[in-house]
Structure 1
Amino acid sequence: RIIDSAWNSALHLPDEKKLVHYCFFQYENLSIYDDNLEEKKKIMLDYYFYLTKEYTKTYDVKERSIGYSK
């Protein structure tokens, strides 16, 4: 609620507007004994690859990018 409210306030939008997508990743622990291990690993890797997607990062000294420090 706080995050939604902050975005809406910054963009001068009504509180009913939902701009933030909350992704609840469910595979925190993987077990080699799990019948769906390969499927869960693929979902987990897709999730992490999305979060670390290289094409959205800027590594130029003139521009800032989250996760980049000098």
Structure 2
Amino acid sequence: MRRLGRSLLALCDHYETLTGVRMCLACDQSIRPDEPTRPFDQGSQSGESAVSGRIHERCSNAVRIH
């Protein structure tokens, strides 16, 4: 499962790099170039992996931090 998850994240990163499309980690919608965003970093509970990326400014209040 972990290897599959890492592979999926790597594929998503490559997709974003090649297409220029960025996705919000909070709402899973695309981020337009003119939209305000915030950096988002969240570590896992096990401490082995982390998710980092960007979220919409409007989604910053909707994200729960554990």
Q: Would you tell me which structure has more strand in proportion to its own residues?
A: 2
What TM-score, normalized to structure 2? 0.28
What TM-score, normalized to structure 1? 0.26
Which structure exhibits the higher relative contact order, with contacts defined as CA atoms closer than 8 Å and separated by 6 or more residues?
Answer: 2
Q: Would you tell me which structure has more helix in proportion to its own residues?
A: 1
> Whose radius of gyration is greater, 1 or 2?
1
